[in-house]
Structure 1
Amino acid sequence: MATLTHHESATAEQLVVTDGARKTFFAIIAAGVLVLILGILAQVMGWGAEEHAAAAHAAGGHAAAGHAAAGHEEGSSVLLKRIIVSLWHSNVFFLGVSTIGTVFMAINYVAYAGWSVMIKRISEALSAWIIPGAVIMLVVFIVGRHDIFHWTHEGIMDKMINGKPNPGYDEIIAGKSGFLNLPFYLIRMVVYLAIWAFFSYKLRQLSLAEDQLGGTVWFHKSVNASALFLVLYAVTSSMSAWDWVMSVDTHWFSTMFGWYVFASWWVSGISAIALTAIFLKQAGYLRALSTNHLHDLGKLMFGFSIFWTYVWFAQFMLIWYANLPEEAVYFNQRLGGYEGRYTGMFYFNILINFVFPFLGLMTRDAKRQMIIMKIVCIAILIGHWSDFYLMFMPATLRGENGFLIEIGIAAIFLGAFLILFTRRLASASLVPVNHPFLDESIHHTT
């Protein structure tokens, strides 16, 4: 971010995104496109197909024979499925992180917290992806729902077809038809996204009005709007986790899953805010941002990495201890299933999302060092993108997963996200000059 320039002024600080910064963002997109093309070529040309065929044969000869008979047609369907699932995977991750910007801001409003005012504009800008992400989500679901969600297949909930028993009937999925049906699902999706987009817009407009007009009336309106939003988000975030992630594994369920997905989004969002604050500080902005602010962000990252691990372990331990087949199947797929294709990532997930942040941010000094904070922030963001990879791929692609296509699509999303994010950051002062708690934030100590 050294390509950003800085206009000196008394209180307000205006971000200017230079051509160099924009070129960097487009370079990320271009790199993503290149990796995506390599991934598509690898899939089409069958690079590594011999090893995969051997693994499939070891898992079950019928599957291997089916793949051989399908030939290139099967390969193209797997390719399309990988692209659709990857689009859904990265969009769910970026959309969730984007919404956390509004959640973080709302929590600080209702708590009457002053320390976070210096990073408030970063939280506001983070929500720039909500509307593009909502559009992508609706399009991907409408076009590719059959590749992601088993329950959307035609006739799967019908016991009889034309007076004859339906061989494709699934009793468990049919039992969930009151909740998992297309009209109700789409209505819920639109409601979640509309609520998140509306309150993100509302709080942003109130913040800009406060900048221009001054006075405390905007602050009190923001507190009221935040309180309502947090109640609605508490419900919609859990339900969206059931709809967008857990219903991929239609037969499986966990009563802790809403908390698990929220914890992953939340710690990723905090890391994105902290990483942006550090980049801006190093580029000469946010002059009043101090190591005390970084320390508090570091404490949140440290604490909620432990919270994520607590939810992960509680879910894993209870399922392992009960040893019920309908529950244990989720972890059997990820830990040793499909010839161990996901086992390495399963352990990597724990290392990067718990062990690394725990050891990296354990001391007070570590939370006040920009270089350590940057490394941990980047690790957490990569780690939780990988966490969502583990949530989606075993249930959708099973043993047909890969990484090039998925990483390429993630890089395209990242570049597009950064373009929108920095554009919104640059559209108002980085310092909310008329916020009633600005002075408290400037003199914040820990």
Structure 2
Amino acid sequence: MATLTHQESATAEHVVITDGARKTFITMIVAGIVVLALGLVAAFMGWGEEHHAAAGHAAAAGHDAGAGASAHHHGSPNWLKRVIVSLWHSNVFFVGISVVGTVWMAIQYVAYAGWSVMVKRIAEAFSAWLIPGAIIMVVVFGVSLLNHDLFHWTMPGIMEKGSENYDAIIAGKSGFLNLPFYVARMVIYLGIWIYFSKRLRDLSLAEDLNGGTAYFHKSITVAAMFLVLFAVTSSMAAWDWVMSVDTHWFSTMFGWYVFASWWVSGIAGITLTAIFLRQNGYLRFLNEGHLHDLGKLMFGFSIFWTYVWFAQFMLIWYANLPEEAVYYNQRLGGWEGRYTWMFFFNIFINFVFPFLGLMTRDAKRQMIILKIVCIAIIVGHWSDFYLMLMPGTMKGDNGFLIEIGIFAIFAGSFLLLMTRRLASAPLVPLKHPFLDESLHHNT
């Protein structure tokens, strides 16, 4: 009888998004617009760009040298190109975090995990960004084609022998890198992610209404199908949306690398949301055991990201093949070292800081430490995507004001949509078969 009482009190929770919370999210968007405007003014005035042209010509030897010069000459003005690249950068990052919410749910289903039921609805809410993210992605890609600001392989004539833009290496990839197939793949990836996110959400809400275990078992089947498809589509999305920016370069580990960055950022987002809810009087049964498990996942997958990062770097460094090493030469000294500090910052904030911060058992059970580490991980992996995309697109003409402004706009918009979905259903699944296990979870 005591257990039933616990369940009833837990399932009565509904999040109310206060005007104050909405104002905070809107303030983030407005602040982002202000920073973006400052960045655009700085770009118009040319502040800090005196040596960019020289730096661009001093790029890593041989890698898309003609391509970089051509793209820079024929592309959009610097400010517009930075806006387009930054929109792509932040949207790819947030779309990844959004789908990780569904991946998280799917893994919990197929693993028959009970402890995570307490934060399940948070993961469900993350997919609220997928549809607007998909629209933004298609639109930004279409706009980028006007001046080929994102992907050099879209340049006219680049795959045609005899053309002044002809590139034999890129032409050899024309079977994969061609516009109809590329756009079709993009739509298929996003369509699969949106469909399965909605399917799992609908089953979860139907379970709340009708009870029983039928919805749970159906969700396991749907989750298993999704995970198989996601394993393929996430890697291919990483090749298409990020790796094909550096068209000559490739890495067989890159799909895992991008997934690891998305995955640990998503876990940090789920953890941070759970903590804020708990501190505002919700999730009354979220205890140190849940926090500890979330902390262990962030700790473990920060190490996993580092493992993939190091394996990719070490093999390329050791082989020292020019067509592979150029990727790291650009980031470790290319363009007068514009990205060198960020290369090392990336390792510190995404590995050293989470590793030291979450090393002890007590640290994983302290909300304040988890909040700091979560924020560091999200900022760190946004900068990780910055480092993946900017050298191949902006060359030495990169900056930060426009990029940070757009990130703040995306973050505020994501939070508005995510919290609205979070408020549209009970915060804890009403009739999940493992609810009692989660209520009494401890480690």
What TM-score range do you get, normalising by the shorter chain?
Answer: over 0.9
CA distance in 1, matches of 2:289, 2:385: 32
Change beyond 3 A, Cα 1:375–1:106: same
Partner of 2:253: 256
Change beyond 3 A, Cα 1:290–1:55: same
Cα deviation digits, residues 214-271 of structure 1 (max 9, x gap): 1111101100000000000000000000000000000000000000000000000000
Partner of 1:121: 121
Please state if 1:50 is matched with 2:47: no
Partner of 2:427: 430
User: Structure 2 residue aligned with 1:148, among 147, 150, 161?
Assistant: 150
Q: Quote how far apart the aligned CAs of 1:52 are.
A: 3.5
Partner of 2:85: 85
User: Structure 1 residue aligned with 2:174, among 167, 174, 177?
Assistant: 177
Partner of 2:224: 227
Partner of 1:314: 311
Partner of 2:438: helix, strand, or coil?
helix
Please state if 1:94 is matched with 2:88: no
Assess if the C-alpha contact under 8 Å between 1:12 and 1:432 holds in 2: no
Partner of 1:130: 130
Map 1:47-446 to 2 at 5 A: 47-52=47-52, 55=55, 77-145=77-145, 146-159=148-161, 165-446=162-443
CA distance in 2, matches of 1:423, 1:298: 26
Q: Tell me which amino acid in the other structure corresponds to 1:377.
A: C
Change beyond 3 A, Cα 1:122–1:172: same
Higher mean C-alpha deviation, range 40-49 or range 264-273 = 40-49
Assess if the C-alpha contact under 8 Å between 2:159 and 2:170 holds in 1: yes
Q: Tell me which amino acid in the other structure corresponds to 2:157.
A: G
Q: Quote how far apart the aligned CAs of 1:48 are.
A: 1.8
Please state if 1:33 is matched with 2:37: no
Q: Quote how far apart the aligned CAs of 1:46 are.
A: 1.2
Assess if the C-alpha contact under 8 Å between 1:114 and 1:441 holds in 2: yes
The TM-score normalised by the length of structure 1 is 0.93
Cα deviation digits, residues 18-74 of structure 1 (max 9, x gap): 1111110000000000000000000001112334456458779xxxxxxxxxxxx99
Change beyond 3 A, Cα 1:439–1:46: same
Assess if the C-alpha contact under 8 Å between 1:100 and 1:265 holds in 2: yes
CA distance in 1, matches of 2:98, 2:75: 34
Assess if the C-alpha contact under 8 Å between 1:275 and 1:373 holds in 2: yes
Partner of 2:285: helix, strand, or coil?
coil
Assess if the C-alpha contact under 8 Å between 2:91 and 2:410 holds in 1: yes
Assess if the C-alpha contact under 8 Å between 1:44 and 1:75 holds in 2: no
Corresponding residue pairs, total: 424
Identity of aligned residues (%): 76
Assess if the C-alpha contact under 8 Å between 1:43 and 1:75 holds in 2: no
Cα deviation digits, residues 321-369 of structure 1 (max 9, x gap): 0000000010000010000000000000000000000000000000000
Assess if the C-alpha contact under 8 Å between 2:75 and 2:81 holds in 1: no
Q: Quote how far apart the aligned CAs of 1:168 are.
A: 1.3
Partner of 1:69: none
Q: Tell me which amino acid in the other structure corresponds to 2:222.
A: A
Please state if 1:23 is matched with 2:23: yes
CA distance in 1, matches of 2:122, 2:394: 36
Assess if the C-alpha contact under 8 Å between 2:11 and 2:429 holds in 1: no
The TM-score normalised by the length of structure 2 is 0.93
Cα deviation digits, residues 306-331 of structure 1 (max 9, x gap): 00000000000000000000000100
Q: Quote how far apart the aligned CAs of 1:433 are.
A: 1.5
CA distance in 1, matches of 2:130, 2:116: 22
Q: Tell me which amino acid in the other structure corresponds to 1:155.
A: G
Q: Tell me which amino acid in the other structure corresponds to 2:149.
A: D
Partner of 1:16: helix, strand, or coil?
coil
CA distance in 1, matches of 2:91, 2:165: 31
**Unaligned 5+ residue runs, structure 1?**
1-7, 61-72, 160-164
Q: Quote how far apart the aligned CAs of 1:12 are.
A: 2.1
CA distance in 1, matches of 2:347, 2:58: 28
Change beyond 3 A, Cα 1:342–1:367: same
CA distance in 2, matches of 1:438, 1:113: 10
CA distance in 1, matches of 2:262, 2:330: 23
Cα deviation digits, residues 110-133 of structure 1 (max 9, x gap): 000000000000000011000100
CA distance in 2, matches of 1:247, 1:57: 21
CA RMSD of aligned residues (A): 1.8
